[in-house]
Structure formats: structure tokens, C-alpha cells
Structure 1
Amino acid sequence: MALQGPIPVGFDMVFPHGCYVVGEVEPVKDFDASTNGRFVQSRDKQSGELVWQVAVMDADPTVKPGQKTVAVKILAPVQPVQPVQPVQPVPPAPMPGLPFTPVEFDHVTVTPYVNGTGRLAYSIKVRAMRAPRSAAVPAPVKNSSTAGKEAA
């Protein structure tokens, strides 16, 4: 089978109604390498990059309340300086008047798995997060019913 490992998808396929940051960007713990009192950050198995995660709320109105918040894992490189320092992903700036920060992700992949309850679930990994692209503002349309008529 040609599909092996993470499956590349578009952001709009995962979050067609958009999503909002509702938590802090945090390092993901490598449970195998960490010991009592010693935290080791997880690395992606394919790229070797550090793994971070952020909680986001799906803006889809049809999603059940208990499934609205999902963790998105972000792969980020380390800075090439000594000692090696992680580059923590930074969410976009908050927008005035909104309780949550809208966000979009680039280079999205999903990995299906069977969760602890026996249901199909997906692990979402991305390479970058950013502010949503602003929608293009359509040009005003002239009203054809009044075009060319003289004022009375």
C-alpha cells in the first residue's frame, strides 16, 4: 500500500470552519526517555524534530461539545547554536474583540489510530501555525436597475 505513516491533508479538510487557540503551546513529553524528575521532550519519529502541542477549539457548529477541543502537535526545529535550544512555536497575536485567537496550520498531516475505547481517532501534526489569511473583500457591485437612468 502506498499510504504509510502520516497522511498529508489540507487545513480546510480538518477544520473547514476554522479553529481557535484555547491553550498554551507546550512541549510534548517523551514518556519512554523521561524519568522521575527529568523531563525529556518528544521528537518526531520521521523528522527528528521537537514536538510541541497546543489545544484548539474546532469552530464547526455540528461537532459535539465534548469533541470541540483537540490537541494539535507542532513539529519545530532546534536552533543551531550551542547548547541546542528549542524553537518554541508562537501562536498568532490575539484579535481585538474575540475571546479566542483564530489560527491556521500549514503542512498538516493526520495519523489514524484506534484509541483506548476502540474508536477510530486521528493524531494531527503540523509544521507551522499562523494567523488566518484575510478573506478577499469583493468589489462593490453596481446596481444594474439604476445604472444609466437619469435623476428625475
Structure 2
Amino acid sequence: MAIQGPIPVSFDQVFPHGCYVVGEVEQVKDFDASSKGRTVYAKDKNTGELVWQVAVMDADPTVKAGQKTVSVKILSPVQPVVPAALPGLPFVPVEFDGMTATAYVNQNTGRLAWSIRATAMRPPRTAATPAKTSAGKDIAA
């Protein structure tokens, strides 16, 4: 099989309606390497980067309520910072760069699930302004 390891995906493929931070950024513990009184934090097997996670709510109105909140793992040597809140919004909108998806079987349900990873978290890009043609007419960017 040609697919090996995580599958590169774009933010728009995973969250076409956007997503919002609904939790704190936390460092992921390596439960296999940790022992009583000694916590070991997870590192990515391929890059050696520390692994952090943040809960986000998918803004897709068609997603079932029980599936709206997902955890995105971020590979970074330092704790990622949640973007500044926007006035009038109860949650912080966010986008991720360098995203990958890895399929696995959920042990509790026996169903296919996805582990989502990213290399960076940032504020959403604003809507692109239309580009101008040489005649001065707007075209889609």
C-alpha cells in the first residue's frame, strides 16, 4: 500500500466551516513511559517535537452534537499560544497549519476514528480581497 503514516490534509478539508478553541493548550503525557511520581511528556516519533493538545469545536452545523468537539495535537518545542479573543464572540476562532490525519480504530466503539495533528496554531486568515485584472475588474483570487 502506498499510504504510509499520517496523511497530509489542509485546514479547509478538516474544518470547512472553521473551528473554535474550547479548552486549554495542554502538554500530552506519555502514559507508557511515566511512572508513579515521574511524569514523562510525549514526543512525536518522527520529529522528536513535544506534543500539545487543544480541544476545538467544529463549526460545521451538520456535525452531530457528540462529535462537535475534537482534540487537535500540535507538535511544537514550546507551548502554543491561543490567538487573542475577538470582541463579541464567546469562543476563539483558530486555524491550524501543517495538518495531518491518521486513521485508527477506536477501542471503545470499534469504529474508525482520526487523530488530527498540526505544526502550528494561528488566528484565522481574513477573507481575501479580490485581485484586480489589468482592466481594473475584480476577479476571484
Structure 1 length as normaliser, TM-score?
0.83
State whether structure 2 residue 84 is matched by structure 1 residue 93: yes
Q: Distance in 2 between matches of 1:38 and 1:99?
A: 37
Q: Distance in 1 between matches of 2:130 and 2:49?
A: 41
Q: Cα RMSD (Å) of the superposition? A: 1.2
- Structure 2 gaps of 5+ residues are 132-141
Q: How many residues are treated as equivalent by the alignment?
A: 130
Deviation at 1:50, TM superposition (A): 0.3
Identity between Structure 1 and Structure 2 (%): 76
Q: Does 2:72 match 1:72?
A: yes
Show structure 1 runs of 4+ deviating over 4 A.
Answer: none
The residue number in structure 2 matching 1:130 is: 122
Deviation at 1:138, TM superposition (A): 5.7
- What residue is the counterpart of 2:30 in the other structure? 30
2:75 aligns to what SS in structure 1? strand
Question: Residue 8 of structure 1 aligns to which amino acid in structure 2?
Answer: P
Q: Which residue of 2 aligns with 1:4?
A: 4
- Distance in 2 between the 1:76 and 1:137 partners? 31
- 2:5 & 2:36 partners in 1: Cα distance? 31
The residue number in structure 2 matching 1:110 is 101
Cα deviation for residue 6 of structure 1 reads 0.4
Aligned-partner Cα distance in 2 for 1:73–1:100:
19
Amino acid at match of 2:62: T
1:121 partnered with 2:113? yes
- Which residue of the partner structure matches residue 46 of structure 1? 46
Where does residue 137 of structure 2 map in the other structure?
A: none
TM-aligned CA deviation for residue 15 of structure 1: 0.3
Counterpart residue number, 1:143 = none
Amino acid aligned to 1:76: S
Distance in 2 (alpha carbons) for counterparts of 1:95 and 1:48: 34
Aligned-partner SS, 2:12: helix
**1:60 match:** 60
Q: Which runs of 5+ in 1 are unaligned?
A: 78-86, 140-152
Letter of the aligned partner of 1:73 in structure 2? K
Q: Give the Å deviation of 1:38.
A: 1.5
Helix, strand or coil at the partner of 1:32: coil
Query: One-letter code of the match for 1:65?
Result: A
Q: 1:137 deviation in Å?
A: 4.8
